Structure formats: structure tokens, C-alpha cells
Amino acid sequence: MEPRPWLQNYPKGLPANIDVDKYPNLNAFISEALVKFAPNPAFYCMGKSLTYGEIDKMSRQFGAYLQSRGLKPGDKVAIMMPNLLQYPIALFACIRAGLIVVNTNPLYTPREMVHQFNDSQVKGIIIVENFASHLQEILPKTQIETIILTSIGEMLGSVKGPIVNFVVRSIKRMVPKYELPNTICFKEAIQQGKNFTINSFDDHPDRVISHQYTGGTTGVAKGAMLTNRNLLSNMLQIKGCLDTQMKEGEEITLCPLPMYHIFAFVVNCLAMMSYGSMNILVVNARDTKSVIKEFKKHKITVMTGVNSLFNVLLHEKSFLALDFSNLKVAVGGAMAIQRSVNDRWKEVTGRNLVEGYGMTESSPVVSVNPLDGSARIGTVGMPVPSTEVRIADDHDNTLPFGQPGEIQVRGPQVMLGYFNKPEETAKTIRNGWLCTGDMGIIDEDGYLSVVDRIKDMIIVSGFKVFPNEVEDVVCSHPKVKECAAVGIPSEKSGECVKLFVVKKEISLTKNELMEYCRENLTSYKLPKEIEFRDSLPKTNVGKILRRELRDQ
């Protein structure tokens, strides 16, 4: 296969390479954007917006406060919240203070929290009160010393904020009782930060910015270490793909995906920031009424999402009646875009859904379809600038065009490695190539297609679910002898988890097992179907054949 055959098909204006040294660090990029677009609204949530200038000031003060609490550059701080105005303030504050961000899904169970916090050696946490009771439960098992609490309504103003908090706490009862020591509220931390300044530190290109947790290709949750260079490179690569369509100061980006997810983190929070875009934050993407409401209220020009969200919207009459004349592009990531969904989206909005490919370990974008109308539906487009992609056989030999094999990636966006897991890193990055564990094909024009997953990973609404984790939880139930988890098709979420179980005790019921799963697994990891069997198919050495179960 000739090197980078896709370059001949790049749209006009898309550079073959990006300048990886354009910014010395992510802090420099963030500071430039916050000052350049200071008067512009940066983030909007539930009727309240903050300008780039306000984010600049608040994040500096918050970063200074974090350092004043004894957190030093290199320490890890978990951010555990949905899409709220607090998120970008906390994110930029940590980056400016030299702290490593550990983005944490707020829906995690205590078991999942303990693993991530201890694996990453988290010392501080910024958490929404809705999940504080879980933190109370696991706090003695962690190294966490600094706790900043916030509420859903805290940054929504003196009138709306208290109303929202009253509804959340007293009407919907979404905040279980908790007791946590030495906490401070988010706004008070910003206020106290006025009394301090951020101490300087060595912010070199290879400084780790974030531990983004992923199962990788082995199923064990690991922290992908993403550096200044990784995140800046991917931001610039994405920007290179968008430049022909975007205009500074004119973009309004709908952000229904959570920014703790690597896709929204880099595309919405960083790449669109380079245009001075206003990000419209949707707290809960499963609340389609909220998504549609923001579409009605704002002249959305860019939207990010996943196939399942696009599919749900297309079945809402109120969405079909919207004005899409301002919409330039809708980008789908994290899971495959179904052809039927794309066709219907184009029919309704007049625009194709733009599909790309990536993974947490590549910060995340590897390839994307062109935005100029030349997208090839059914492919994930061409590799982004400064990126090499090859298809390799089982011995890491490059295969010719049209032959399926493992997708391997090389570029400045590829992670430094997995935190404290050198053996796992060595398995995933071999001879400078990121081995994705996904099977694909590259055609002669350089378009990449993902044809299968080499591993048994299940993708539920864009989130990775690894059978090993689900099976470990289920098999810990005293009435379960053995089990297997596989992915099956789902119209709503692309895939969902089906569980095959061999009972140890005949009294075990599906309801009993589901309740046990709810206590130990985040909602998207929960099995949607449970089938009891007398035995499971196995190899001659006793390995359960998940593929055979899927095929059945």
C-alpha cells in the first residue's frame, strides 16, 4: 500500500499536515481563545450563558484555589458532572494549574468509582451533589482529600439557580442524603481563588493533561494518558477538516454528548473553541425534548452526536418541523452511523451526517469524511492531517488495498500510553503504531471502512462496554455458575447487552439478577436481555465462545 494515498482526494483547503508546534501547550491555546473571543458567549446551559472572558477569569481563580488547597502540578483531579457551565471552568482551571484531569462518568456506581479513582491516584474531586452519596460510600477507600461540591443550579443565576435546585432536591428528589468532610461549594472556591495566583510549572509538550478511561482493546479499564501534544494535535487536525466550512464568531454548536467523553471534550470543547463558537450544553441527551428545545431556540450551525441520538430525533414530529437552514454539519462519532439513519437525516435536514472514526487512545479522531459533499456513506472517511493509517495482518505486516485486517494508526494524536500499565501499553503501541483492535479495509482512494471489531467490545450509544467487566459482576452473584455477555442489535442504542447465564441455584430469577446488575453497573452496561441456559458453548480448553452465542 502506497503511503497516504488519501492525500490525492483531500478536499481543497485541507492541509496534508498540521503544525504540531503551533502552540507550546494546551494552556497557551486556551488562553489565546479566551482572550481573543472574550466578549462572545462561550457556553450556554438552561437559559444562562457565560462569555469567554468570564470563563477566563473564573477558571484562573478556580485554578489558583485548587493550588492553594495543596494540589500540585501532576496531581490528579476527578471531574464528575454532566454538561453544566461548571465543567469548562473546572476543566480549564485544572489545565492552567498543571493538574491532570480524570474525567469521570457521573453515572458510575461506587464500585466503578473506586477502581478509577484508585487506579489514577486521584487526590481531588469536583462533583455534583446528586452523586455525593456515592462518594461518601467510597471515600475511605480512596486518596481523595480535596472535595468541591456543586449543584445543578449553582451557576444559573440568583433567580433561576435556586428554583432549579429546589426542583432537583425537593420535587424530583434527585439528591440522596450525604455527609462529606471539608467540602466547599464551587462558587465559593472561585471567590476564594481571588486571593491567590497560579504558580508556574514546566508545561512541556509531553505533559499529561488527562487520564481518559477506556477499556482499550483488552477490556480492563485503563487511563489513557493524553498529553499537551496529543490534544493540541487532534484539535488542529479537526480544525483543518472544519476550516473550509466554519467562520470565526458565527458558529453555534449543539453539544448533547457529555464533555467527559473524549469526543465532545476535543471536538466541542476545544476544536469549536478555536472559532469562538458558542456551545449549547444539553445536560441530558436522553431527554430529546431538551435537544429539540435548544434547536428551536438557537440557530444551530454544528451538531455532534451519535447514531442512536440522531435516530431518536428523526422519530420526533417536533424535530421534523424545525428549520435547519443554518445547520452546516452534524458529526457522528463513537459508534457507526447506520445508512438508513443517514438517508433519513439528509431527507429531513438537507445535510449528510458526517461520520468519522477514532478511539480514546488517539485523542480521539483518526479519520473523518469530507465536509464538502464528497463523503462516501458506509465509510469513516479519510485519515486526518499528519496521520498514517494502515491495515495489518496478525504479524503486523501491511496489507494491500481492499484486504481486511487490523486498523493501525500512527500520528501525533496517539496517546503516551496507559497510566501505570507498561505491559498493556506495549501490547497496544507496537513499533510506533497504535493497534486499535478493530478490523477494517482501506480502498485505493484512501477511504477507510470499519468492518468488524476484533475484540468482543459492545458499543451502546457510543459508550464502550466490555463483556469481561459485565461477566465479572454477574459471576460474583452467589447463584450464578457461569455467564457470557454479548452485543446484540438495538434500534435505540445501536447495540445492547445480552446475558447468557447458567444457574448455580435454581431459585435465581431474571429480576433478582437485574437488580444485582443495577447495583454494580452503570445503566448503559446493563443487560437488556437475560437468557438462562443449561450450558454455554466452549472451546476444547474451556473458553466460552461468545461469537457462537452472538451468531445464534
For the chain, the structural domain boundaries read: 1-15+228-455, 26-203, 458-551
**Assigned CATH class of 26-203:** alpha beta
Which pLDDT does position 217 carry in this prediction?
46
Strand order, beta sheet including 365-368: 48-51, 41-45, 278-281, 252-255, 302-305, 329-332, 353-358, 365-368, 382-383
Tens-place pLDDT, residues 436-478:
988 899 999 999 998 766 667 788 998 888 887 888 899 889 9
Whether the per-residue pLDDT at 1 is higher than 70: the answer is no
Q: Which residue has the cell 473553541?
A: 273
Question: What's the mean per-residue pLDDT of the chain?
Answer: 93
pLDDT tens string 74-117: 999 999 999 999 999 999 999 999 999 999 999 899 999 999 99
The answer to whether the beta carbons of residues 69 and 57 sit under 8 Å apart is: no
Architecture of domain 1-15+228-455: 3-Layer(aba) Sandwich (3.40)
HSE at residue 176, side-chain half, CA atoms within 13 A, is 9
Res 452: pLDDT: 64
**pLDDT at res. 540:** 47
Q: pTM score > 0.85 for this model? A: yes
Task: Report yes or no: 94 and 63 within 8 Å, Cβ to Cβ.
Answer: yes
Please determine whether the domains at 1-15+228-455 and 458-551 fall in the same fold group of CATH: no
What is the tens place of the pLDDT at every residue in 405-443?
999 999 999 999 999 999 999 999 999 999 998 889 999
137-192: pLDDT as tens digits: 999 999 999 999 999 999 999 999 999 999 999 999 999 999 999 999 999 999 99
495 vs 99: CA distance, rounded Å: 36
pLDDT at 118: 97
- Interval 359-412: pLDDT, tens: 999 999 999 999 988 888 889 999 999 999 999 998 999 999 999 899 999 999
Sign of the C-alpha dihedral computed for residues 228, 234, 237 and 239 taken in this order? negative
* Rounded Cα distance, 337 and 341, in Å: 7
Classified by CATH at the fold level, domain 458-551 comes out as GMP Synthetase; Chain A, domain 3 (3.30.300)
- State how beta strands 417-418 and 222-227 pair: antiparallel
- Kindly report, residue by residue over 261-317, the tens digit of the pLDDT: 999 999 999 999 999 999 999 998 878 899 999 999 999 999 998 887 888 899 899
Give yes or no for a contact between 271 and 30, defined as CB atoms under 8 angstroms apart: no
Res 415: pLDDT: 98
- The pLDDT value given to residue 541: 44
C-alpha span between 12 and 27 (Å, rounded): 31
Split at pLDDT 50, 70, 90, the class of 318 is: very high
Residue 133 has pLDDT above 70, yes or no: yes
Spatial CA neighbour of 88 closest among 116, 118, 60: 60
